[in-house]
Amino acid sequence: MHRRRLVAATVACALGLGLAQGAGAQTQTAPAWPSRPVRIVVPTGPGSSLDLIVRAMGDKLAARWGQPVVVENKPGAGGMLGVDVAAKATDGHTLAIGFNGPIAFGPFLYRKMPYDPAKDLVPVIMTTSQPNVLAVNADKVPAKTVAEFVAWAKAQQGKVNYSSLGNGSSAHLTMELLMAEAGFTGTHVPFNGSPPAAMAVAQGEADATFMVAPALMPHVRNNKVRLLAVSSAQRPESLKELPALSASGYPNVESLAWNGLFMPAGTPDAVVSRINADANAVLQDAAVRQALQAQGLTIVGGSAADFRRAIDGDVKRWGPVITRLGVKLD
């Protein structure tokens, strides 16, 4: 009996040592992340809000990771082209910064998308949020309030043109919702990103737009564009002087544009946690905060689970709205 116990103990010890050695070897050979430059795909053009966010954070993230951060702009298809690059990436070092349109709204707008937002992407962190701003060409549109804009738009009898950063964006859908609530019609002119959409309003190619503020502000300072209202009661200090649409007679027209980082499905949890922690730290950096807040962006941060819940909430809220409005893009 004593001999059997001794043999059993010896075997158990040997197994334990073997497992420990195996675990140690596994730890030593497991590749650290990142092991190469990190690519962040921006699904809109240079100068857009998403581009500004990534470039404001990029150097700080690179310093934490010990690897360069490469920003790649890939606009098109309402943001789906760029997001699809990240969804299909297999190198473990490609992220995308996404927004409502190609993530939460796309499944209701398109019969077929090149990726499944719920299955092919992992939310990492919501970086920022901001309301859309109702803006008009300062020369063509005499309105200085929402009520005056609605009256003017109705008088145009369907000849209003409005721009947006792309099909299916929160800016596009917010205008569709306002038109339905206010009882006027117009023609949507989509662009690949907010800078050209803002330029279209400034040059009079479009009468109006809903858009996040950064791309509009140079044209506001040049007196080419006039801001009328914001699409959410939640707004940054830089837009506090503007009324919310809910306070202008349209309580059902409420939208908040968000931005956040995504990785392909199957990304190890440890990598997601690492990026989330580093991005949260960078979002607390004073210089980064100042740069983002100067653009009218509200810094969010939080966990990957927080981001997933926010996306799910957007899907539940906007899915029925899109269906009711009958907006289809293919």
27 in any annotated domain: no
Q: What is the pLDDT of residues 278-318, one digit of tens each?
A: 999 999 999 999 999 988 889 999 999 999 999 999 999 99
- Choice among 29-38, 151-160, 170-179 with the minimum mean pLDDT: 29-38
The predicted pLDDT at position 154 comes to: 98
Q: What is the pLDDT of residues 180-236, one digit of tens each?
A: 999 999 999 999 888 999 999 999 999 999 998 888 999 999 999 999 999 998 777
Query: Is residue 29 very low, low, confident or very high in pLDDT (cuts 50, 70, 90)?
Result: very low
Query: Is residue 239 very low, low, confident or very high in pLDDT (cuts 50, 70, 90)?
Result: confident
Q: What are phi and psi of 140, to 5 degrees?
A: -80, -35
Domain that holds residue 56: 38-128+257-325
Question: Residue 13 above 70 pLDDT?
Answer: no
Q: What is the pLDDT of residues 192-201, one digit of tens each?
A: 888 999 999 9
Of 162, 171, 139, 276, nearest in space to 208 by CA: 162
**Number of domains within the chain:** 2
Mean pLDDT of the chain: 90
Contacts by 306-315, CB closer than 8 A, 24 or more apart: 306/126, 307/123, 307/124, 307/125, 307/126, 307/260, 308/123, 310/126, 310/258, 311/103, 311/104, 311/117, 311/123, 314/100, 314/104, 314/105, 314/258, 315/104, 315/107
Per the listing, tokens 């197994």 go with 15
188 shares its domain with 171: yes
92 in any annotated domain: yes
Helix, strand, or coil here: 106? helix
State which of 189, 213, 248 marks the end of a domain: 248
Helix, strand, or coil here: 164? strand
Q: Write down the pTM of the prediction.
A: 0.82
The predicted pLDDT at position 31 comes to: 62
56 shares its domain with 114: yes
17 in any annotated domain: no
87 shares its domain with 232: no
Name residue 51's amino acid.
D
Residue 328 or 61, more confident: 61
- Choice among 15-29, 51-65, 96-110 with the minimum mean pLDDT: 15-29
Query: Is residue 237 very low, low, confident or very high in pLDDT (cuts 50, 70, 90)?
Result: confident
The predicted pLDDT at position 233 comes to: 84
69 shares its domain with 97: yes
Sheet holding 133-137, edge to edge: 186-190, 160-164, 208-211, 133-137, 225-230
